[in-house]
């Protein structure tokens, strides 16, 4: 089983409108709701790949209720690959911890003409110390059955900035490989706790290390404590700095589409490759094929299963000479 942690889950709401005009009134033509937060997206892709997944983190209030209902229906009558490939047996298992506060909403306003998206993210509910300790005992229990764990996304109000570092130490103590995908100070503190893998994008990596040169920055992130670093470089694919070597994996062509969730699909590719003990080049090919197939999918955050199968053998993986 693969465990994903989403401390700041969200009810993702997508609106479509011809074009967003500041200070004007818009009648939105379409409303789509889906369970959101990076770890939930990762689990959905892992499930579509046939992996057993458990999601934990926090959910509360009416929006939390809606999120859990949608999570229980994952793959039922949805567009995208999940409908065909996600069965109840591979659907993410809900181990979210209830809280008094209301799960946040995120609003994505998509311009129909261009596909450009304007994002409005609520900050999320304040988590109490009692709710945090309740989560920690659930987390420790789930670790005992986990082949790997992913810690994903931002921290809600009330959670101390060293929270991911604490969760990494507990995973390492339980002997469970741990991936961290976050940004800012939580990433900095987390890296120092020596996670097995971090997956920053170029911007997050530059903020962590001060260097905009990906290879130098990735190596620096390893020196700071990350066992391996896979930096997602958008259309340039990913750059991996690992104890076994340094690779870059690139898609055959830059994909045009909605990049929402592409990073989460890459995380799912890396995690699934890790538990399947694939060699690094195969893990990276899967990560890039999945993230590219996500950009190509019509529905934000879904991946196009056919495009994935087509892309997988066509990802170029080149090994760098370690300097």
The catalytic site residues sit at 264
Closest contact distance (angstroms) between CB of 12 and a second copy is: 13
- Using CB under 8 A as the binding rule, whether residue 113 contacts a second copy is answered as no
CA atoms within a 13 Å half-sphere pointing along the CA-CB vector of 244: 7
Which of 32, 68, 85, 122 is in the footprint of a second copy by CB under 8 A? 122
- Using CB under 8 A as the binding rule, whether residue 184 contacts a second copy is answered as no
Output the six-digit token pair for 224: 């700071």
**Would you mind telling me the total number of residues written for the chain in this entry?**
323
- Contact segment (CB under 8 A) with a second copy among 25-33, 92-100, 156-164, 294-302 equals 25-33
Cβ-based nearer residue to a second copy, 4 or 258: 258
Residues 33-72 binding a second copy (CB under 8 A) are: 62-63, 65-66
Give CA–CA dist 93/68, Å, rounded. 10
Cβ-based nearer residue to a second copy, 31 or 323: 31
Which of 1, 85, 121, 192 is in the footprint of a second copy by CB under 8 A? 121
In terms of Cβ atoms closer than 10 Å to its own Cβ (0-12, 13-18, 19+), residue 138 is: middle
Closest contact distance (angstroms) between CB of 4 and a second copy is: 22
Question: 223: part of which helix (H) or strand (E)?
Answer: helix 214-223
Cβ-based nearer residue to a second copy, 107 or 136: 107
DSSP state of 233: -
Cβ-based nearer residue to a second copy, 27 or 277: 27
- Using CB under 8 A as the binding rule, whether residue 15 contacts a second copy is answered as yes
End-to-end CA distance of the chain: 37
Residues sharing a CB contact under 8 Å with residue 191, sequence separation 6 or more, in sequence order = 180, 198, 208, 221, 224, 225, 226
Give CA–CA dist 132/154, Å, rounded. 15
Which of 84, 87, 119, 318 is in the footprint of a second copy by CB under 8 A? 119
Which residues are at the interface with a second copy (CB under 8 A)?
A: 15, 17, 20-29, 31, 62-63, 65-66, 107, 109, 111, 116-123
């Amino acid at each position: 089983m693969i465990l994903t942690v989403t401390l700041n889950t969200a009810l993702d709401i997508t609106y479509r409108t011809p074009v967003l005009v500041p200070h004007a009134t818009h009648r939105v033509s379409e409303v789509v709701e889906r369970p959101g937060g990076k770890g939930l997206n990762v689990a959905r892709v892992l499930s579509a790949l046939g992996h057993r997944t458990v999601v934990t983190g926090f959910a509360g209030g009416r929006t939390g209720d809606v999120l859990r209902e949608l999570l229980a229906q994952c793959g039922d009558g949805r567009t995208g690959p999940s409908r065909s490939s996600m069965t109840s047996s591979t659907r993410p298992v809900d181990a979210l911890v209830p809280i008094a506060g209301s799960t946040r909403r995120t609003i994505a306003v998509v311009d129909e003409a261009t596909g450009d998206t304007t994002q409005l993210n609520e900050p999320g509910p304040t988590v109490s110390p009692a709710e945090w300790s309740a989560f920690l005992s659930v987390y420790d229990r789930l670790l005992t059955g986990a082949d790997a764990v992913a810690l994903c996304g931002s921290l809600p109000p009330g959670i101390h900035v060293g929270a991911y570092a604490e969760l990494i130490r507990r995973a390492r103590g339980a002997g469970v490989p741990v991936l961290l995908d976050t940004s800012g100070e939580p990433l900095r503190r987390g890296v120092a706790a020596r996670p097995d893998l971090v997956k920053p994008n170029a911007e997050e990596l530059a903020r962590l290390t001060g260097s905009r040169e990906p290879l130098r920055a990735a190596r620096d992130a390893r020196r700071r404590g990350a066992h391996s670093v896979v930096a997602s470089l958008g259309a340039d694919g990913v750059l991996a700095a690992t104890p076994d070597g340094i690779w870059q994996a690139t898609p055959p062509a830059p994909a045009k589409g909605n990049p929402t969730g592409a990073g989460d699909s890459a995380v799912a590719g890396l995690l699934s490759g890790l538990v399947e003990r694939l060699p690094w080049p195969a893990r990276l090919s899967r990560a890039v094929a999945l993230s590219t197939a996500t950009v190509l999918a019509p529905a934000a955050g879904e991946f196009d299963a056919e495009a994935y199968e087509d892309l997988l053998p066509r990802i170029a993986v080149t090994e760098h000479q370690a300097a």
